[in-house]
Structure 1
Amino acid sequence: MMGQEERYLKPEGRTGDSVALYTAITSAGVLFLFTWIIVLNNDPMSMGWFALHPTLQTLAILSFVVGILTLQPTSQPKTKAAGLQRHQLAMIIGLPSVTVGTLSIVWNKLLHESKHFTTWHGIFGIISLAWLVAQFALGAGSVWFDGALFGGGLKAKQLWKYHRLSGYVLLPLVLITTNFGGAWSNWAVGHSAYGVRFIAFTLAPLVLLASLYIRIRPSKMKFF
């Protein structure tokens, strides 16, 4: 029989949450798959280290999106704990992917003696990476070892809302960076059709962001 406590648990889902969930996952999947198809259809072995850049960056974005989505509706102890585990797993996949993806393009430029950070894609990219590292440190530090890095217990938990808000602000920056590279870079323009680039790097990110924002719970970010 259902326990007294479970019987009165507040439902986590809201109208439209499921549609927004599947729409967000589909949009992230389109971004990921189209990127990999473009790279694989253009002789990735001839690209050298560059081939790792778009593929690993979009793998990271997919991981980050899944990590965000899995925590959005949670409000009950059991689902929050399970969601946190999935969130951490997604971040553990995403951060190394985006780091290696960034290092691959840096190394590729060094090999070809090309200048760094000469485009908005490059500038926004390095800002995004630095922010991601700080975001990961804040999230991990507030959870691992009972948040000992930030004083533990409730002191550490009070940082969660800032971590959450930071993630929601950071995601558009990451997607704008992706748009600059995927839709407008010289390589992308020369190796893929405009329609493909529009769907993958403009339309999909916009739909993804809208779907993910629809699922935001403002009650989890009370600052006053």
Structure 2
Amino acid sequence: MSERISNELTESEEQYRLLGASQPGNDSADHLPFPVPTMGSDSAEKSEERLGDKLAYYGALVSMLIFVGLTWYIVFANDPAGLGWFPVHPVLQSLGLGCFTYGILTLQPTAHTKTKAAGLQRHQRTMLAVGVPCIALGTAAIEIHKFSQGHRHFATWHGIFGLVSVIWLLGQVLLGGGSVWYGGAAFGGGMKAKMMWKYHRLSGYVLFTLLLITAHLGGAWSTWVRSYSHLSVRFIAYSVAPLVTLAAIYARVRTSKMKFF
């Protein structure tokens, strides 16, 4: 019976279980809401990689590297020292997006217990230790710049989408952390916390899309970038690269394993 139940676990449930297991003090599997797959079970042995998954993985990474690299090139090639706090914004925001991309990819389909646990640890470290601080500091930098220059705040679609994204990101961190830290006690633990983890995943994919749209609006249409970069560079960095990244990320999603009803 234990093996049959294990085989029916959705990917979200398995990842939630492993997140709980990775928290301090959780050395035993006895407290977990779901059984642990054994090495002889189908869930531990089968590979979930589909045709095209590897191509999508590298497509997302390369596209994001192009986005980050061209952003940094545009900034550092145009006297960043004379621009006040402004250069900090695109440099850190692009780096944060790069971390989010890797953080998502490292969670996407992993078939074995050890690789899932390792992926979840990389996800949290990349997102919380680097990605979120980069976005927070980059946002603070552009606000300081606008205050010092007397510019209007959130006067463009880029600014409005950016504000919504940052607020959403804060909620995303609280939702994800609350569903797994201390056994998901913030949401009642067990099945209740597990359900919140599912919504954390869904919310993350939507938020990632919003972040890429925000990056496109800032890179392709802002006055400063248009003044200091060629149209072809902007098209590749802020239209092609984000679109390919998004398509590659979504190509690796297992919608059949994200069950909400």
Question: Which TM bucket (shorter chain)?
Answer: over 0.9
Pairing of 1:1-224 with structure 2 (within 5 A) = 3-5=39-41, 9-92=45-128, 93-224=130-261
Tell me if the contact between 2:39 and 2:45 (Cα under 8 Å) persists in the aligned partners. no
Q: Give the whole-Å Cα distance in 2 for the aligned partners of 1:113 and 1:99.
A: 21
The structure with more helix, counted as a fraction of residues: 1
User: Any stretches of 5+ residues in structure 2 without a counterpart?
Assistant: 1-37
Displacement of 1:83 in angstroms is 1.1
Give unpaired runs (5+ residues) of structure 1: none
Is contact 1:161–1:220 with CA below 8 Å preserved after alignment? no
Give the Cα separation in 2 of the matches to 1:3 and 1:152.
Answer: 27
Is the Cα–Cα contact under 8 Å of residues 31 and 205 in structure 1 kept in the other structure? Answer: yes
TM-score normalized with structure 1 length? 0.95
Distance in 1 between residues matched to 2:127 and 2:155, nearest whole Å: 29
Q: Could you list the runs of 4 or more consecutive aligned residues of structure 1 that deviate by over 3 angstroms after TM superposition?
A: 5-8
Q: Could you tell me the TM-score, scaled by structure 2's length? A: 0.82
**Which amino acid counterpart does residue 167 of structure 1 have in structure 2?**
G
> Shift of the alpha carbon at 1:220?
3.0
- % same residue: 54
How far did residue 160 of structure 1 move?
A: 1.6
Distance in 1, Cα, partners of 2:142 & 2:205: 26
Change (3 A) 1:26 1:143: same
CA-CA distance at 1:75 after TM superposition: 4.1
Q: Deviations over 1:39-60 (max 9, x none)?
A: 0100111111101000000000
SS in 2 for 1:158: helix
Distance (Å, rounded) in 1 between the aligned partners of 2:43 and 2:211: 41
The question of whether the paired residues in 2 share the 8 Å contact of 1:30 and 1:200 is answered with yes
Q: Distance in 2 between matches of 1:169 and 1:89?
A: 21
Instruction: Give the alignment's Cα RMSD to 1 decimal.
Output: 1.6
Specify the code of the residue in structure 1 equivalent to 2:122. Answer: R
